[in-house]
Structure 1
């Protein structure tokens, strides 16, 4: 780490988009390696920034600070910037925005009407809403569920469709993740790599996520058309 790489806590916080107070708090919890000392001033480098960005990625997934602490503590002591960046890239949310905390009043404002207990239960069943303390945690795609509520379809039918989607998507996500680990990450980790090669892999994974989502949609469309064709042929 060169002198040019060193940042003050103010500069580190600004680089990651956090407040200085939050950055100091995370450092105090041991979520960052010990800083480099120059007299009374603490300096931080690329590894500290990588850890801080990893912490943010974990929180975007809804990890509590206690869970984040356990995860960070499980990382090897000799983890490099590239290792931490790869961990973060693997954990980066597939959605464009994190879940958000809302009140029932805010939910009803978004829905444009009062929401009954049945409505809320259905949104929970669809995985679009979860209880969070005295309020709720809404998923980024809550809008889909609110639009489904307005359809003239029995809630049980919507719920059954949601159950089927969740069941198959969970299995698909598990299988695709295992393929990624076995066919991409395991071969990569077997050999030493330059920072440039690590950066290329880090840039490749977001593109792979986008293409995977597009392939899932295209695959469902193809399968649905095949079902229609078979139905017409009978």
Structure 2
């Protein structure tokens, strides 16, 4: 046992610096009981661990899978449905079927009301954009965020700009899971800014009888310019190490 620990590194790493977990360590990191982890493994919800003698070693992919299982359970999915999703992905089932298993919309309805340019992709092309990062976890997150939809046999990414930025970040070494989580957080702030601008228009421009939706759409470039300028200045402050609020 001591020999196995030494081969895996004193801090639980394996050659190359990747984090490795024993069963108890993985369960603790995922916030679940060990018996639950073993149950998931028996149900084949987890890929087999790497074994050294009698010791089972898990990695970050196992941890990500456990966190995804927990998140899907919290959203009302069953273990049977999650198992079917995992099997479907690993057996190469098409994206539309995977979305249906998740209970998520996989139609392109609503894409006509956007300034973004959708991108149609084959599954192979999507894999080329994010080589090694197209996992069940990332696929589920992308579907839930609405970044991906399907139209027949084609995959549709809702935004050329988001697709290019996401793939560029992955090429720079940022894990796709982290990119998607950042996207989720950015969306929360973007929604808040859109509501703020909408309230501004409704309060000050609706008195003359103008259609609020039409006014928002007409003045959209102004809102985008404000956000872009403020973000640019925020990045300047970040680079200077100056996080103080600007004076009024």
User: What TM-score, normalized to structure 2?
Assistant: 0.48
1:182 aligned residue: 159
Following superposition, the deviation at residue 88 of structure 1 comes to 5.9
The runs of 5 or more residues in structure 1 that have no matched partner are: 94-173
Following superposition, the deviation at residue 82 of structure 1 comes to 7.3
Following superposition, the deviation at residue 42 of structure 1 comes to 1.6
User: Which moves more between the two structures, 53-62 or 179-188?
Assistant: 179-188
Which of 71, 81, 84 is the aligned partner of 1:57? Answer: 71
Q: For the residues of structure 2 that align with 1:52 and 1:81, how far apart are their CA atoms?
A: 17
Q: Which structure carries more relative contact order (alpha carbon 8 Å, separation 6+)?
A: 1
Query: Which structure 1 residue ranges, 4+ long, deviate > 3 Å from structure 2?
Result: 76-93, 176-182, 184-192, 197-200
Is 1:201 matched with 2:201?
Answer: no
2:82 aligned residue: 68
Q: For the residues of structure 2 that align with 1:66 and 1:227, how far apart are their CA atoms?
A: 52
Q: For the residues of structure 1 that align with 2:133 and 2:88, how far apart are their CA atoms?
A: 16
The 1:228/1:209 distance shift into structure 2, 3 A limit, reads same
Following superposition, the deviation at residue 69 of structure 1 comes to 1.3
1:164 aligned residue: none
Q: For the residues of structure 1 that align with 2:203 and 2:54, how far apart are their CA atoms?
A: 68
- 1:165-197 Cα deviation digits (max 9, x unpaired): xxxxxxxxx6x8769643356444599725336
Following superposition, the deviation at residue 85 of structure 1 comes to 5.7
Find the residue that maps to 1:6 and give its secondary structure.
coil
Q: For the residues of structure 2 that align with 1:219 and 1:66, how far apart are their CA atoms?
A: 44
Which of 203, 206, 212 is the aligned partner of 2:190? Answer: 212
Find the residue that maps to 1:196 and give its secondary structure.
coil
Is 1:45 matched with 2:89?
Answer: no
Q: Contact conserved, 2:26 with 2:63, CA < 8 A, in 1?
A: yes
Instruction: Give the number of aligned pairs.
Output: 151
User: What TM-score, normalized to structure 1?
Assistant: 0.50
Q: For the residues of structure 2 that align with 1:33 and 1:8, how far apart are their CA atoms?
A: 14
Q: Contact conserved, 2:142 with 2:148, CA < 8 A, in 1?
A: no
The 1:71/1:189 distance shift into structure 2, 3 A limit, reads farther
Which of 34, 37, 44 is the aligned partner of 1:20? Answer: 34
Q: Which has the higher helix share?
A: 1
Following superposition, the deviation at residue 64 of structure 1 comes to 1.5
The 1:82/1:59 distance shift into structure 2, 3 A limit, reads same
Pairwise CA RMSD: 3.9
1:8 aligned residue: 22
Find the residue that maps to 1:5 and give its secondary structure.
coil
Following superposition, the deviation at residue 61 of structure 1 comes to 1.9
Q: Contact conserved, 2:45 with 2:83, CA < 8 A, in 1?
A: yes
